Amino acid sequence: MEVYEFEKSLLTRLQETSDVLCARGIALPASEVRTEWANYVEMAIEPTGWQAQWRIPRVMCEELSLKFPTLVVGTVEQVLFDELKAILVVEAVQDDDVHMPERQVVALEELWPLKEQENDALNVDRTADCLDRLRFFYQHVWMPWDNDEDDDGSDWAEKNLYDRVKFYYDVKKRVMSKRLVSHVMALLAEANYVQKKRELLEMEVDEEDENDSEGEVEHENKRANKLVELHLRLNVIKNEMKILEDPTLRDAFEKVRFGSPDEKQSSEEASIVVHTGTLDQHINYLTTAKSIVGSSKTVRICDSLQGALDKCAASNELYLPPGKHPIKFLEYLNGGGLLKAVTSVRFVNACQAGQLQQLVKDAAMICSKDDDSVLLNVDGDYCFENVMLDCVNVRTGVLVKQGNVTFRNCYLMGDAESSTKQGIVVFGNSRITLQNCVLKDFSTGIYANENCQICLKDSVILECTRGVEILSGGNVRFQSSEVRNCKSYGVLLEVDDLNTSQDSEQTRQVCNDYNEIGRSELSFEGSCSFRDNGKANFIISKTGSAKFNNSCFVEQATPSNVSNRICNNESDRAFETVPDGHLIDYKGQLDNVGKLLWGGNQTNGNGFDHNDISTASSTDNDGTDLYSTVNDRSECTTTSGTSSCSAAFETSAVIEIEESVIEID
């Protein structure tokens, strides 16, 4: 079953939102914005009877201990207009091991109407477009701190709308540098996550009856402290975002926060990180490092891994001593670089002996300073060696966008209590090799998208919910490796067709002996072991899971397909005819839109800055038309293009989502 998707330019987005908030021609304070949307939704949406896909947010999956992403299909029984919510009658769940109440109250922005409806008389096209406008506004324009703004009689739309939409455009179209875009997207994702977490805690407080027992009071105090902590973090993000929304202050912020790109080292240099210690300890450590690095290479001594990452080029070699290395690094590693610990720790041997925890003090442990989305991003060839990656505070350990990535003697440690954390997430056309590595305590140890190649050599995956999850078109080779003690399945493989008779309605095959699988996607060499996995060692399922892994909390968009864009109004058609390299001839059209929306008084008196438009080229660094449409598949909470259910949906409850590229939860 396909879901509705839209391709709209940023100008269209601006006009659509202003049509809702500025329709009455009066000043609209922040406290009345939601009411205005409720009035619009009540006029535009079908009140009942339409089928939709519900994409459960990550924070709710964490609260309910569900796998993320989890998709649900059902019928809307009633729309609660004032609350911008709907009562959904659940008909099928992506994971057939998940059981939930038949009726769920869900936010409208989390619903995606299906194109195929049981009742053809419903105007689902208009309903889908209405939800698309609502979703775009609350995911990308409205900020969590807007709820707490004091109304001073000012018009929220005039004060914020123009700047917010233009800022969204700047982020999506890479007007800013790559590192600043990564930082902005991480802040926005964290802000939305913190807000949803705060709302859930506030709901718990409201629902509980007063109880004076000592245990209950202590629990309430902990919850109150958590609420204060979330509120303070949101204020910090708010202040930083206020700076980033202003193009002038944004440049100054980038120089202060990241330094000048000219400060990056040349590719011939290596960085050696040192910790505080005695002179003898330093001598011994540097002597060992010298035997690895060599005596002729130019090196830089850094007092922290964070400092080394900030100063070195992505392709440099980094050497670490044993100890804890907290980082907050949002750029991408690539260029054939190396991150290696100067240590003799052997993680697989320690795992086999049950002594992993004892090795922590002797290992070089890389962890996140904050509750980040991703610990490390890789978009090219790179190698990790002898390091321990502590992923407790992040949602994804290593995100591999492309390239050949090698892990040698590495230990990735997750959180046994989490149902959403993932160790390594691999995008298409990437090759990943894990040699003598250990992955432990993740919801999914390795998540491989289509066209990925994974090789596990002498490695161990243990005590995850699912050890390895491979989507259709992926390939995994096991060489003397082990997957054991996983709560659910050792290996989950999504395929387009099962090796069953043509008339069979079977949608899953369960297998415990890898010699009986007979699938080209999985190959086995040497002495492999798959044992003590909760439900089965292997499960092969007819295509149903997302073909793009939206499990990473923040992901970035690919350039939209300009040639296939949909022109929705006159402003779109005007830009459709803009010749490459001649955007300056059309610069007045942008300001005309602002005048149309606010009668010449554009937000804060600012129009689109024509100085930002290059007369030599109308493309960004990726060669993308700066004023092309933004594909709304990149605005989905779970990043989908097309969604489909298998023929035997009632029994298998599996859903397929085609490739798309961004997630801002």
Give a three-class secondary structure readout of 184-241.
Answer: HHHHHHHHHHHHHHHHHHHHHHHHCCCCCCHHHHHHHHHHHHHHHHHHHHHHHHHHHH
Q: Which two tokens stand for residue 232?
A: 């303070």
Query: Global pTM?
Result: 0.67
Same domain, 249 and 155: no
| pLDDT lower than 70: segments of the chain | 150-153, 207-215, 259-268, 330, 371, 499-506, 543-665
pLDDT at residue 350, rounded to an integer: 94
Q: Phi, psi at residue 561, to the nearest 5°?
A: -85, 105
Question: What is residue 157's DSSP assignment?
Answer: I
Containing structural domain, residue 87: 10-171
Alpha-carbon 365 to chain mean position: 24
CA distance 337 to 353: 32
Same domain, 393 and 533: yes
Q: Which two tokens stand for residue 536?
A: 């089965």
Last residue of a domain, one of 231, 257, 283: 257
Same domain, 235 and 122: no
CA distance 321 to 363: 8
Residue 163 lies in a domain: yes
Cβ atoms within 10 Å, residue 584: 14
pLDDT at residue 211, rounded to an integer: 54
| Number of separate domains in the chain | 3
Q: What type of residue is 493? A: L
pLDDT at residue 661, rounded to an integer: 31
Helix (H/G/I), strand (E/B), else coil: 253? helix
Same domain, 112 and 193: no
Same domain, 511 and 372: yes
Last residue of a domain, one of 549, 575, 609: 549
Same domain, 110 and 180: no
Q: Count of residues for the chain?
A: 665
Same domain, 24 and 79: yes
> Are residues 532 and 510 in contact, defined by beta-carbon separation less than 8 angstroms?
no
Residue 303 lies in a domain: no
> Which position has the token pair 């990656």?
389
Beta strand pairing call for 85-93 and 103-107: antiparallel
In order of 288, 298, 444, 465, 507, the CA distances from 491 in angstroms are 39, 45, 10, 10, 16
CA distance 478 to 599: 65
Same domain, 83 and 50: yes
Same domain, 166 and 183: no
Residue 120 lies in a domain: yes
CA distance 151 to 135: 24
CA distance 291 to 302: 19
Same domain, 412 and 454: yes
Residue 288 lies in a domain: no
Same domain, 88 and 185: no
Q: What type of residue is 439? A: L
Residue 595 lies in a domain: no
Residue 308 lies in a domain: no
Helix (H/G/I), strand (E/B), else coil: 75? strand
Q: Is 206 exposed, middle or buried (0-12, 13-18, 19+ CB in 10 A)?
A: exposed
CA distance 460 to 482: 5
Beta strand pairing call for 317-320 and 103-107: unpaired
Q: Which two tokens stand for residue 577?
A: 């005819």
CA distance 524 to 518: 11
pLDDT at residue 625, rounded to an integer: 31
Same domain, 190 and 113: no
Residue 622 lies in a domain: no
Residue 279 lies in a domain: no
